Amino acid sequence: MIPFIRPRRNRVSPAIRDLVRENSLSVTDLVMPLFVIAGEQQKTEVSSMPGVFRYSLDLLIAECQELYDLGIRAIVLFPALDESKKDKLATESANLEGLYHRSLTQIKQAVPGLCIITDVAMDPYSSDGHDGLVSDEGLILNDETLEILCTQAVSQAKAGADIIAPSDMMDGRVGAIRLALDEAGFPDVGIMAYTAKYASAYYGPFREALDSKPKKGDKKTYQMDPANVNEAIRELELDLAEGADIVMVKPGMPYLDVVRALSESSSVPVAVYNVSGEYAMLKAAAHMGWLDYRKAVEEAMICFKRAGAKIILTYHAKELAQWMQEEN
C-alpha cells in the first residue's frame, strides 16, 4: 500500500512548518517572577535555582528596566524578608513604608510601562509560614484571613500594583478582594486568581528563596489535591463569579490537562505558572549535560500555549526574551 495521504507533506520545509504551525510564543505572553531583598547592591543567587537572584531594590529597578528593554511587559514580585519582619498576623504585608510596597512604587516610577503583578498571601510575612492565619490549634482560619488579604491587596494597589494575584487559596478571597479594591477606589486594578493551585512538591526552591516553608504541617487544607481536576472547574466557576480577570493554573508542566480543562471553560484568559521546581529540574539536567537546555525550555513554553494558556509566568522569561531578540 502506497499512502496517498501524507501528513509529512506539511513538515517538508521550515517555510511550510512555519505556515501550518498552530501556536506561537510571544515575548508579551511572558511574566517574569522576581524576588526583592533588603539592602543595597545585593544580588544573591537562590541555590536551588541557578541563574535566579534576589535583588535589593536598587538592582531590582535596573533589572526591571533591562527586562522591559527586552520586551517583557509584566513582572510578579515576591519579598524575601528577614525572620524579624514576620509575625502571626503578617503585619508587614500591609506596610506602605516596607520593602515590598516601596519596591512597587519605585519600580512603577522608574519603568511606568511595566505591568506590576503583586502576590497576595500571608506566607512571606507569616511567622507560621502559612498563606492563612493559623489558630492556636493549628487550623487555618479562612474568614479571618480574608480581612488580612483585603488590607494587603488595597495597600498594594495604593503602592502602585496593576494586577493583584492572590496565591493563598482561601475560599471567597477573589470576591472579598474585588469588593475591597472597589471600595478603596481601585476599580481598574485587576485580579489574577491562582484558581487551581495544587499542594505541590515543585514549590520547594521558591520556599528556599523566601525562607517561607510552613513551620508546622503542610498546605493541603487549602491548596488542591494533585489527583483532582473537576475540582479545578469548581474553583474556576467561583473565581469567575467573584470577578477574576485572569485565572491561573499552578504548577505548569505536570498540569497541562488542568490548563486545557480551564481554557475550555474559561471566559477570561488563562495563565500558567511554570514554578520553581520545574525551573530547577531543567537547570539541573542541563548542568549535567543531559538535555539541550534552550530546546527543552522552548518546548515547555509552546506546550503551555498548545494546552490553552495565554500567559506564562516563568523564571525562564528573561532568557527566552534574550533568545528571541538574538533571532531578530
Question: Residue 49's closest CA among 199, 206, 202, 200?
Answer: 206
276 binds ligand PBG per the rule CB under 6 A: yes
Q: How far is the CB of 195 from ligand PBG (least distance, A)?
A: 13
Smaller CB separation from ligand PBG, 104 or 275: 275
Query: What per-residue string of b and e applies to 305-315 under the rule 16 or more CB within 10 Å gives b?
Result: bebbbbbbbbb
In order, the DSSP letters of 120-134 are E-SGGGBTT--SSEE
Give the residue closest to ligand PBG by C-beta. 206
Query: Nearest to residue 92, comparing CAs of 129, 119, 124, 118?
Result: 124
Indicate the residue among 110 and 303 with the shorter CB distance to ligand PBG: 303
Q: Is the peptide bond before 251 cis (omega within 30 degrees of 0)?
A: yes
* Shorter beta-carbon distance to ligand PBG: residue 119 or 128: 119
- Please confirm, yes or no, whether 43 is among the known catalytic residues: no
Check binding of 207 to ligand PBG (CB under 6 A).
Answer: yes
State the DSSP H helix or E strand holding residue 39, giving kind and residue range, or none if neither. none
Using alpha carbons, select from 214, 218, 216, 213 the residue that is nearest to residue 198.
218
Q: Tell the smallest beta-carbon distance from residue 315 to ligand PBG (Å).
A: 7
Residue 162 vs residues 66, 113, 192: alpha-carbon distances, Å? 19, 11, 10
Q: Give the shortest CB-328-to-ligand PBG separation in angstroms.
A: 29
Piece of the chain touching ligand PBG by CB under 6 A; list 56-64, 107-115, 116-124, 132-140: 116-124
State yes or no: residue 152 binds ligand PBG (CB under 6 A): no
Task: State the catalytic residue, choosing from 197, 219, 305, 318.
Answer: 197
Ranges within 157-176 binding ligand PBG (CB under 6 A): 167-168
Please state, as a whole number, how many other Cβ atoms lie within 10 Å of the Cβ of residue 69: 11
Instruction: Single out the residue of 29, 131, 162, 235 in contact with ligand PBG (rule: CB under 6 A).
Output: 131
Cell of 187: 476599580
Distance CA 160, CA 117 (A): 10
Query: Which of 55, 100, 206, 255 contacts ligand PBG by CB under 6 A?
Result: 206
At 42, which helix (H) or strand (E)? none
- The reply to whether 123 sits near ligand PBG by the rule CB under 6 A is yes
Minimum gap (Å) between residue 218 Cβ and ligand PBG: 9
Give 69 or 89: the residue with its C-beta nearer to ligand PBG: 89
276 within 8 A of 204, measured Cβ to Cβ: yes
Instruction: Mark the segment that binds ligand PBG (CB under 6 A) among 90-98, 149-157, 201-209, 302-310.
Output: 201-209
User: Which of the residues 86, 108, 219, 250 is marked catalytic?
Assistant: 250
Based on the number of CB atoms within 10 Å of its own CB, is 93 exposed (0-12), middle (13-18) or buried (19 or more)?
buried
From the number of C-beta atoms within 10 Å of its C-beta (0-12, 13-18, 19+), residue 241 rates as: exposed
Q: State the minimum distance, in angstroms, from the CB of residue 32 to ligand PBG.
A: 12
Known active-site residue 197: yes
Looking at residue 126, what DSSP letter applies? Answer: B
Q: Least separation, in Å, of the C-beta of 226 and ligand PBG?
A: 13
Q: Return the residue of 116, 121, 240, 317 that touches ligand PBG, per CB under 6 A.
A: 121
Residue 92 has φ and ψ, to the nearest 5°, of -60, -20
Residue 68 Cβ vs ligand PBG, minimum distance, rounded to whole Å: 22
Nearer to ligand PBG by Cβ, of 98 and 252: the residue is: 252
* Residues engaged in binding ligand PBG (CB under 6 A): 119, 121, 123, 131, 167-168, 203, 206-207, 219, 275-276
> Hey, which residues are catalytic here?
197, 250
